[in-house]
Structure 1
């Protein structure tokens, strides 16, 4: 323990030296993100398909809510797995962000086509676009944390 005139400064220095990891474990991050996605995009799908009747709107909403919940949960775990496969933070970022985005677009399009969603593009576009940004941001956060950890271990 160091003895300085400002103990808050020492705590700040310790916090900067600590390995930076995103808050919570992979399951906690995935579960919170998946629940938010299910509610948001399921509601959007109902709104988007309301002109086709209540049954079609509800079916689209349940389809999108379920797809969003499952895909977000699974894709967050796959993102972290793909990131680790990259072997370097830069490769992990590219593999994780592009791999999860591609999987989400293909799976979401396929499921909605099979379900007969009337307004396919307008139903899935927001979740795919926001999903791409979300997965890219998450991959960047993992990359930044890995770079900080590498830099910290090099200084030891």
Structure 2
């Protein structure tokens, strides 16, 4: 049980899951286009997802404990979603990803759900510790 808890707290595990899951999704979302476009989109998305996950995880941890009341419940996930939307759209456009909307739909949804639940878990843990 302690290993599972340690893995759940590990930034490296969060990043690896994000890279593989969202990079794979990007390859699929762009599979109608000739190679290497799907692979480039996959590497770009996987890398972005890993880095965004690391940054957002740490940002949520910092914001969650510092923001009082209901603001701390909704602001970290909104910031996470907004930052992700801007980064994903911009960098996929720069990389020439053919299906930007399809490519970022799933990662953006996952970011929003992940950040919401992670923030909620942190806040519940902090309130239980008080």
TM-score higher than 0.5 here?
A: yes
Q: 2:38 aligns with which of 45, 57, 61?
A: 57
Q: Unaligned 5+ residue runs, structure 2?
A: none
1:114 pairs with 2:94: yes
Moved >6 Å (runs of 4+):
none
CA deviation map 1:17-36 (0-9, x unaligned): xxxxxx4499x432211110
Give the CA RMSD over aligned residues. Answer: 1.8
Q: Distance in 2 between matches of 1:119 and 1:141?
A: 34
Q: Distance in 2 between matches of 1:29 and 1:90?
A: 27
Q: CA 1:45/1:124 → structure 2, altered by over 3 Å: closer, same or farther?
A: same
With normalisation by structure 1, the TM-score equals 0.74
1:125 pairs with 2:105: yes
Query: Which residue in the other structure is 1:91 paired with?
Result: 71
1:81 pairs with 2:72: no
Query: Which residue in the other structure is 1:139 paired with?
Result: 119
With normalisation by structure 2, the TM-score equals 0.88
- Alignment check: 8 A CA contact 1:90 1:143 kept: no
Q: Unaligned 5+ residue runs, structure 1?
A: 1-22, 151-156
Offset, 1:100 = 1.3
The number of equivalent residue pairs is 126
Larger radius of gyration: 1
